[in-house]
């Protein structure tokens, strides 16, 4: 994985990619990312074989289930999977196993991607778009390592029982030692490539599962004594992220806490439309998806910000395909577009999805040209 070892540029010339456009604005932002990827492929002299699959609401409409087993099996043979947002209110009334989110949990578990990386770094040009004071927002540069296949979202037993007025529901938060240790090791290795600080977030004052989490993180840290380790309860971590985000480098936490805190980080950088993510495992292809939702209220209107999806493609190039130069080109093009004043409506501008994509593509040409000088 590109984040955890010295990585050379891949010499492979063809990549097989699973493409999941999802629901709502998903197909629009996916189209933007594919245009950028195809241009990068031309510059690198590589070809992509795109295999499109349905997931979430689109799969429910087509097949009656949020993700087919046969499609998941075929994805395992791909080099990486790129997915846009899923879901929408029109599918919210079905049973839990037939809702779009069940497809999301299934693909994460099925691909064995247990580590979700969510970087949050402020673009200099967007400091004013953050909810924080400029002098505070300018210090945002962190990454959340969220454990992705355990905790409340997957724990058993779970379910609902009874009828009014005696309805009950149960979810189970559980973690095994190996689950905690493997993501802790990833976070510590990543910190060695950054500012060598890890903040482990839990609720060890009241939850036994968090007490085990902290115990194993401390044990794992003994092999990474060059990295500073601190602990925060999740409620205090949320407060500290707003008060002084600059104190954070790598945040290590479990599934539910990571889900919540990483969305909070989106407000720190100015818009959830800027937040990419990568989900990685040990052997299967990585899963790459933007943090934002499907935004059905603006679907088809050309108002979606494509930058999170484009930056997610950059994460796929770096962490999934071992093409760090390609990732750098894309990230530089996005930054140059923002430096030039490009803004979609969520950033206070008037650019459409297509206009922002065209702007990134224009600056991508400059990124490629500079690398060939």
Report whether 342 contacts 359 (CB < 8 A).
yes
- Rounded Cα–Cα distance for residues 246 and 253 (Å): 18
Q: Label residue 6 by pLDDT band (50, 70, 90).
A: very low
| Whether the predicted pLDDT of 2 surpasses 60 | no
User: What is the structure's pLDDT at 270?
Assistant: 83
pTM over 0.95? The answer is: no
Q: Computed from CA positions of residues 243, 249, 250, 252, in that sequence, does the dihedral angle turn out positive or negative?
A: negative
Q: Label residue 273 by pLDDT band (50, 70, 90).
A: confident
Active site residue 13: no
Active-site position among 71, 79, 249, 259: 259
Q: Between 336 and 3, name the one with better pLDDT.
A: 336
- Rounded Cα–Cα distance for residues 172 and 52 (Å): 34
pLDDT digits (tens, 9 = 90+) for 289-348: 999 999 999 999 999 999 999 999 999 999 999 999 999 999 999 999 999 999 999 999
Question: Is 22 strand, coil or helix?
Answer: coil
Mean pLDDT of 47-56: 97
Mean pLDDT of 16-42: 97
Q: Label residue 367 by pLDDT band (50, 70, 90).
A: confident
| Whether the predicted pLDDT of 43 surpasses 60 | yes
Provide φ and ψ at 278, rounded to 5°: -130, 135
The token pair at 289 is: 């998806």
Active-site position among 109, 141, 233, 263: 263
Q: Average model confidence (pLDDT) for the chain?
A: 94
Active site residue 235: yes
User: What is the structure's pLDDT at 283?
Assistant: 76
Peptide bond into 165 cis (omega under 30): yes
Mean pLDDT of 46-64: 97
The token pair at 18 is: 């699973």
Question: Is 157 strand, coil or helix?
Answer: coil
Active-site position among 3, 15, 153, 175: 153
Report whether 372 contacts 358 (CB < 8 A).
no
Q: How many other CB atoms sit within 10 Å of the CB of residue 251?
A: 26
User: What is the structure's pLDDT at 77?
Assistant: 96
User: What is the structure's pLDDT at 373?
Assistant: 53
Q: Label residue 355 by pLDDT band (50, 70, 90).
A: very high
pLDDT digits (tens, 9 = 90+) for 219-234: 999 999 999 999 999 9
User: What is the structure's pLDDT at 4?
Assistant: 53
User: What is the structure's pLDDT at 9?
Assistant: 81
| Whether the predicted pLDDT of 216 surpasses 90 | yes
Q: Label residue 1 by pLDDT band (50, 70, 90).
A: very low
- Rounded Cα–Cα distance for residues 236 and 250 (Å): 16
Active-site position among 106, 203, 249, 346: 203
pLDDT digits (tens, 9 = 90+) for 159-174: 999 999 999 999 999 9
User: What is the structure's pLDDT at 92?
Assistant: 86
pLDDT digits (tens, 9 = 90+) for 231-245: 999 999 999 999 999
- Rounded Cα–Cα distance for residues 230 and 224 (Å): 13
- Rounded Cα–Cα distance for residues 184 and 216 (Å): 8
User: What is the structure's pLDDT at 159?
Assistant: 94
Q: Enumerate domains of the chain plus CATH numbers.
A: 1-118+274-373 (3.40.718.10), 131-269 (3.40.718.10)
Report whether 330 contacts 336 (CB < 8 A).
no
Helices (H), 252-344: 255-269, 307-315, 324-339
- Of 55, 171, 149, 51, the C-alpha closest to 102 is 55
| Whether the predicted pLDDT of 7 surpasses 60 | no
Question: Is 357 strand, coil or helix?
Answer: helix
Active-site position among 61, 73, 235, 244: 235
């Amino acid at each position: 994985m590109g984040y955890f070892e010295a990585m050379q540029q891949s010499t492979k010339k063809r990549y097989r990619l699973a493409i999941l456009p999802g629901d709502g604005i998903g197909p629009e932002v996916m189209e933007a990312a594919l245009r950028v990827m195809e241009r990068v492929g031309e510059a690198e002299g590589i070809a992509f074989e795109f295999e499109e699959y349905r997931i979430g609401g689109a799969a429910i409409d087509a097949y009656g289930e949020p993700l087919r087993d046969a499609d998941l099996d075929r994805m395992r043979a791909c080099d990486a999977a790129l997915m846009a947002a899923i879901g929408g209110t029109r599918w919210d009334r079905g049973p839990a196993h037939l809702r779009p989110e069940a497809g999301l949990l299934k693909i994460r578990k099925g691909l064995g991607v247990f580590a979700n990386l969510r970087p949050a770094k402020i673009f200099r040009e967007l400091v004013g778009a953050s909810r924080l004071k400029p002098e505070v927002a300018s210090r945002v540069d962190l990454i959340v390592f969220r454990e992705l296949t355990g905790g409340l979202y997957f724990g058993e037993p779970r379910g609902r029982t009874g009828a009014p007025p005696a309805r009950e529901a149960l979810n189970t938060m559980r973690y095994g030692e190996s689950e905690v240790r493997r993501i802790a090791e990833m976070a510590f290795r990543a910190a060695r490539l950054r500012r060598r600080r890890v903040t482990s977030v839990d609720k060890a004052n009241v939850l036994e599962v968090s007490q085990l989490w902290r115990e194993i993180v401390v044990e794992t840290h003994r092999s990474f004594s060059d990295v500073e380790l601190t602990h925060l309860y999740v409620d205090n971590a949320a407060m500290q992220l707003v008060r002084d985000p600059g104190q954070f480098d790598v945040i290590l936490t479990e599934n539910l806490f990571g889900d919540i805190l990483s969305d909070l980080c989106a407000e720190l950088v100015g818009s959830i439309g800027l937040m990419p993510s990568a989900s990685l495992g040990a052997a299967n292809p990585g899963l790459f998806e933007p943090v934002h939702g499907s935004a059905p209220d603006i679907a088809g209107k050309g108002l979606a910000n494509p930058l999170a999806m484009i930056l997610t493609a950059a994460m796929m190039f770096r962490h999934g395909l071992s093409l760090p130069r390609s990732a750098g080109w894309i990230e530089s093009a996005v930054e140059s577009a923002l430096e030039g004043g490009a803004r979609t409506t969520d950033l206070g501008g008037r650019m459409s999805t297509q206009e922002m994509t065209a702007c990134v593509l224009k600056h991508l040409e400059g990124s490629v040209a500079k690398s060939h000088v």
